[in-house]
Amino acid sequence: MSHELPKAYDPGAIEARWAEYWVAEKLFHVSTPDSAKNIFDLLLPPPNVTGRLHMGHMLNQTEMDIIIRWHRMRGENTLWLPGTDHAGIATQMMVERQLATENKRRQDMGREKFIERVWEWKRHYGGAILDQMKRLGASVDWGREYFTMDENLSVAVKEVFVRLYEQGLIYRGKYIVNWCPRCMTAISDLEVVHEETQGKLYEIRYPIIGSKDYITVATTRPETMLGDTAIAVNPKDERYKTLIGRVVRVPLVNREVAIIADDWANPEFGTGAVKVTPAHDPNDFAIGQRHNLAQINIMDETAKLNENAGPYAGLDRYAARKKVLEDLEKEHLLGHVKEHMLSIGKCDRCKTVVEPRLSTQWFVKIAPLAKRAIEVVEKGHIKFTPENYKTIYLNWMNNIYDWCISRQLWWGHRIPAWHCADCKQDTVAREAPAKCAHCASAKIEQDTDVLDTWFSSALLPFTTFGWPKQTKDLEVFYPTSLLITGFDILFFWVARMIMMGCWFMGDENKLDSLNDAQREEKLKASVPFREVYIHALVRDADRQKMSKTKGNVIDPIEIIERFGTDAVRFTLASMAAPGTDIAFNEDRTEGYRAFANKIWNAARFIFMNMDKAQQSGAWTAAGFDPAETPDAKTLEDKWILSRFHAVTQALDESLKAYRFDEAANAVYRFFWNEFCDWYIEIVKLRLNAGESDSDKATTKTALTFTLHIFEGSLRLLSPFMPFITEEIWHAVYDGKPPAKSIALTRYPVADSKLVNSATEAEMALLQSFIVDVRTIRAEMKVENKLKTPVETQAKDGIRKTLEQNLNSIQKLANAESLTFTEKSLANAAGAKVSPHYEVRVVYEQKIDVAAERERLTKELKKLEAEKDSAQRQLSNEQFMAKAPEKVKEGIKRRAEELAGLIAKIQSALAGLPKA
């Protein structure tokens, strides 16, 4: 048998191979289980079909993969469901851009041809992101991959729409919506991003009819005056009280409109009088509703002015603004113009300035859905981590507005509503109707709009399992266990999934007719997921947001090619402290690449010893059983076993709490600083014991033990670093592994009986002894190769530990010999004192008296400060009366130790030759 591994770890040489293997072998496929017991499942937040993998995806998927691999290895039935989102606007724009290069427009092609073209695009380019995901090692069930426009999901979308419509929770109406003139569609409030911008506040004078006076209003969008149908003042505003009810002339269009009283007018802002344009401003729209004002729409879907704007028709909104201002100036009706900071809304997708515009759209009446979505979170049926997102969620949910769900696009789920040309009413139906449901007219046509992409993704937790059919999948997999996602889609997606899930999986509008207990049970089972873990943003090393324009985007694929997927995954995990953004730092990744290399070389070392022992007949691989804990023979064995189980326990707790950072750091430190730095170094002595039969027996037990811990560590590490652990794990079994993948083995289970604090304390003493000797040698500048005699004064118990581990001390501290003495060594050259022993390196070299004095003085100062503080506490009556026994005892003990140490150091200082 041979375990030939290259000296340095090369992730590129193995990762692609394992990634393909996991997919090809369908290792993570789950068939429908019989019961909902012992299931752990989660949904991949579906990336846009047009998407390319970015660092945020990688963080998200790394976290999900760690969690799902961990649960899988705990023997749970795990399902991680992948899919992609059809991403209405994004995809349509992408294909339109492609068409533009062929000098084509979708309008010329017609709807059907265009949609066919999008599907074609999707077949060619769509889902590239899923291939990138495979490269990350994501252990999803590829056999269950979905697309939000799949036939079955489309059926479910229609079903939801029809039911909500029938329940009065979807309505159509003419309202002010956010309109993107570039995308030529309405967008929801959430799709508008607000930006502080330097603009201007214009004052315009409106002549009052029957007087020579004017009323002056202030506005940031003067062109909208062409659609004014009133002027509003605050009824409490003394300045304007007498003007209420008077009529003014809207300049340029010469329409006569009334001055009305409305609380919305803020006396503090501008002149206190505001123009009212119900068709182009949401607040003005509301005023219009209250006062029954006319709505005059002056813009078309491209934000050019229309025929209602008279002479300005055909002008773009900004050209019209310029012209309107010029014309007002000419008529001497333009007042002060001043600089003004204002917040303007831009389209999330294309960054075009959004125009509030009156149009007919479909809306979801959100209050009944929100009410239940608030209840489940308040009652803890859905748990948020970090907890503060609960507050953010509830805050938003309590101030929610109706959701505009129609989009004037072609790509998406078409709204299942048909308008009647005769009676003007809508027929909403699952299947295309032949005639109007109201007047039986055959002159009906389907609504041309499609649904907001988030409408269908809000349904995924149940539609992907077969809803509206009552499938076995739905029964066992719903609710999903967990959702891991970024805060950026908390409202877009998370909140809406909760609303939709709790409604459709919670008896819809019939829930409240259940009795209390039944209702509670139903409600609890209706949630789309039991827990939500929300992660932060991945930023660049300088904490800047990554963006294409800044050019600071880190491509995950590029970075994994340089450092290896495992190293990048480990970086993200180790920095994923909840609530804080990750400043992605390559230095850190470099460190974890070194960690992978460390694991690799530990494997090389162990394999080398396995081969050697096998050749000498000291050991056979056949006898190795990972499930069996071998007897711990020595201090180092007992210690590493204790540490292994303690770390296993710590990992368990950290992962339960989604503390990826804690988990990663714990396993890192264990493997490197404990297993490699101490255990392997010590066990080398036994591995190289010799050729006699008893030596071979020693080697055998040592090797078995080392392998036991090492193999267990690979399993501990495997969720974090699936590639390197898979590769090495297969090599451990020399190509004949007990399972197809380390991912299908069991995660180590902590045995608290094997965690032994006395053993750990004893080892800590041995370590500090060795470190002290090393420190003295370093200070005395003893050549590395030169072994030096060591003298020590130690109490019996400690002496025993040192004696029993003499070999380790000799090897690790470069000690030639260890002699015990009764006399104090504190005054001797090359000595160091500790509470438990005094140690001295015997080395004939003149010490640097000045340096030694400085070192001792510094040490003394530190210890005295500590002792003072301890003494202060001990002489404080309040402290002695109130502090817990444990704390008091600890301080008392420490104070005694300090007194001893201080005396010794003082004496050593006194013994130094005068300078």
Query: Minimum distance between the CB of residue 853 and RNA, rounded to whole angstroms?
Result: 15
Per the structure block, which two tokens stand in for 12? 């590129």
What single letter denotes the amino acid at residue 100? A
Query: Minimum distance between the CB of residue 452 and RNA, rounded to whole angstroms?
Result: 15
Residue 529's DSSP bridge partners are 480
Q: DSSP state, 44?
A: -
Which residue number, 440 or 657, has a Cβ lying nearer to RNA?
Answer: 657
Query: Minimum distance between the CB of residue 98 and RNA, rounded to whole angstroms?
Result: 30
Query: Minimum distance between the CB of residue 825 and RNA, rounded to whole angstroms?
Result: 18
Question: What is residue 302's three-state secondary structure?
Answer: coil
Name which of residues 369 to 388 contact RNA (CB under 7 A).
Answer: 388
Burial grade of 140 (CB within 10 A; 0-12, 13-18, 19 or more) = buried
| Number of residues in contact with RNA under rule CB under 7 A | 77
Per the structure block, which two tokens stand in for 242? 């007498």
Contact yes or no for 133/53 (Cβ under 8 A)? yes
Q: Where do the DSSP E strands lie in 386-452?
A: 403-404, 406-407, 417-420, 426-428, 444-446, 450-451
Which residue number, 249 or 894, has a Cβ lying nearer to RNA?
Answer: 894
| Contacts for 220 with CB less than 8 Å, ≥ 6 apart | 199, 200, 201, 202, 340, 342
Query: 39, 319, 553, 891: which one contacts RNA (CB under 7 A)?
Result: 891
Phi, psi at residue 219, to the nearest 5°? -150, 155
Which residue number, 125 or 605, has a Cβ lying nearer to RNA?
Answer: 605
- Residue 368, preceding peptide bond in cis (omega within 30° of 0): no
Which residue number, 467 or 843, has a Cβ lying nearer to RNA?
Answer: 843
CA distance 607 to 613: 10
The DSSP annotation for 356-372 comes to EEEEEEEEE--HHHHHH
Query: Minimum distance between the CB of residue 855 and RNA, rounded to whole angstroms?
Result: 8
Name which of residues 472 to 501 contact RNA (CB under 7 A).
Answer: 487, 491
Query: Minimum distance between the CB of residue 489 and RNA, rounded to whole angstroms?
Result: 10
CA distance 240 to 266: 12
Which residue number, 306 or 871, has a Cβ lying nearer to RNA?
Answer: 871
Query: 32, 220, 471, 601: which one contacts RNA (CB under 7 A)?
Result: 601
Name which of residues 390 to 419 contact RNA (CB under 7 A).
Answer: 391-392, 395-396, 399
The stretch among 86-94, 448-456, 661-669, 737-745 that binds RNA (CB under 7 A) is 661-669
Cβ neighbours, 10 Å, residue 601 = 15
Residue 468 exposure: Cα atoms within 13 Å on the Cβ side = 14
Which residue number, 304 or 593, has a Cβ lying nearer to RNA?
Answer: 593
Q: Strand order in 273-276's β-sheet? A: 247-250, 255-261, 230-233, 273-276
Query: Minimum distance between the CB of residue 74 and RNA, rounded to whole angstroms?
Result: 21
- Residue 386, preceding peptide bond in cis (omega within 30° of 0): yes
Query: 343, 470, 549, 752: which one contacts RNA (CB under 7 A)?
Result: 343
Name which of residues 603 to 622 contact RNA (CB under 7 A).
Answer: 604-605, 608
Q: How far are the Cα atoms of 207, 841, 853 from residue 845, in angstroms, in the given order? A: 103, 11, 16
Place of tokens 């113009």: 337
CA distance 291 to 294: 9
Query: Minimum distance between the CB of residue 813 and RNA, rounded to whole angstroms?
Result: 9
Contact yes or no for 702/635 (Cβ under 8 A)? no
CA distance 175 to 281: 10
Name which of residues 135 to 194 contact RNA (CB under 7 A).
Answer: 189-190, 192-194
Which residue number, 150 or 586, has a Cβ lying nearer to RNA?
Answer: 586
Site mask for RNA (CB under 7 A), range 570-599, x = bound: -----x-x-xxxxx-x-xx-xx-xx-xxx-
Query: Minimum distance between the CB of residue 607 and RNA, rounded to whole angstroms?
Result: 9
- Helices 660-669/635-656 angle, 10° precision: 170
Question: What is residue 300's three-state secondary structure?
Answer: coil
Which residue number, 481 or 725, has a Cβ lying nearer to RNA?
Answer: 725
Which residue number, 95 or 709, has a Cβ lying nearer to RNA?
Answer: 709
Cβ neighbours, 10 Å, residue 622 = 7
CA distance 436 to 433: 7
Which residue number, 444 or 458, has a Cβ lying nearer to RNA?
Answer: 458
Name which of residues 101 to 130 contact RNA (CB under 7 A).
Answer: none
Query: Minimum distance between the CB of residue 579 and RNA, rounded to whole angstroms?
Result: 5
Site mask for RNA (CB under 7 A), range 7-46, x = bound: xxxx------------------------------------
Query: Minimum distance between the CB of residue 568 and RNA, rounded to whole angstroms?
Result: 13
| Contacts for 486 with CB less than 8 Å, ≥ 6 apart | 45, 56, 60, 534, 535, 536, 537
The DSSP annotation for 665-707 comes to HHHHHIIIIIIIIIIIHHHHHHHT--SSHHHHHHHHHHHHHHH
Name which of residues 854 to 883 contact RNA (CB under 7 A).
Answer: 866, 869-870, 873, 876, 878-879, 882-883
Which residue number, 38 or 398, has a Cβ lying nearer to RNA?
Answer: 398
Query: Minimum distance between the CB of residue 313 and RNA, rounded to whole angstroms?
Result: 31
Query: Minimum distance between the CB of residue 8 and RNA, rounded to whole angstroms?
Result: 4
Name which of residues 81 to 100 contact RNA (CB under 7 A).
Answer: none
Which residue number, 215 or 776, has a Cβ lying nearer to RNA?
Answer: 776
Which residue number, 54 or 598, has a Cβ lying nearer to RNA?
Answer: 598
Q: DSSP state, 631?
A: P
Phi, psi at residue 83, to the nearest 5°? 180, 175
Site mask for RNA (CB under 7 A), range 536-575, x = bound: -----x-x-x-----------------------------x
Residue 206 exposure: Cα atoms within 13 Å on the Cβ side = 33
Site mask for RNA (CB under 7 A), range 276-315, x = bound: ----------------------------------------
Per the structure block, which two tokens stand in for 543? 């904490």
Which residue number, 323 or 774, has a Cβ lying nearer to RNA?
Answer: 774
Cβ neighbours, 10 Å, residue 233 = 23
Query: Contact between 273 and RNA (CB under 7 A)?
Result: no
Query: Minimum distance between the CB of residue 612 and RNA, rounded to whole angstroms?
Result: 10
Name which of residues 663 to 722 contact RNA (CB under 7 A).
Answer: 665, 669, 672-673, 676-677, 680-681, 684
Name which of residues 208 to 267 contact RNA (CB under 7 A).
Answer: none
Which residue number, 146 or 563, has a Cβ lying nearer to RNA?
Answer: 563
Query: Minimum distance between the CB of residue 833 and RNA, rounded to whole angstroms?
Result: 13
Query: Minimum distance between the CB of residue 490 and RNA, rounded to whole angstroms?
Result: 8
Which residue number, 81 or 839, has a Cβ lying nearer to RNA?
Answer: 839
| Contacts for 388 with CB less than 8 Å, ≥ 6 apart | 579
Query: 602, 721, 818, 908: which one contacts RNA (CB under 7 A)?
Result: 602
Which residue number, 320 or 397, has a Cβ lying nearer to RNA?
Answer: 397
| Alpha-carbon radius of gyration of the chain | 37
Query: Minimum distance between the CB of residue 261 and RNA, rounded to whole angstroms?
Result: 23
CA distance 586 to 582: 12
Which residue number, 167 or 665, has a Cβ lying nearer to RNA?
Answer: 665
554-567 residues labelled b (16+ CB within 10 A) or e (exposed) = bebeebbeebbbbb
Name which of residues 769 to 788 contact RNA (CB under 7 A).
Answer: 771, 774-775, 778-779, 784
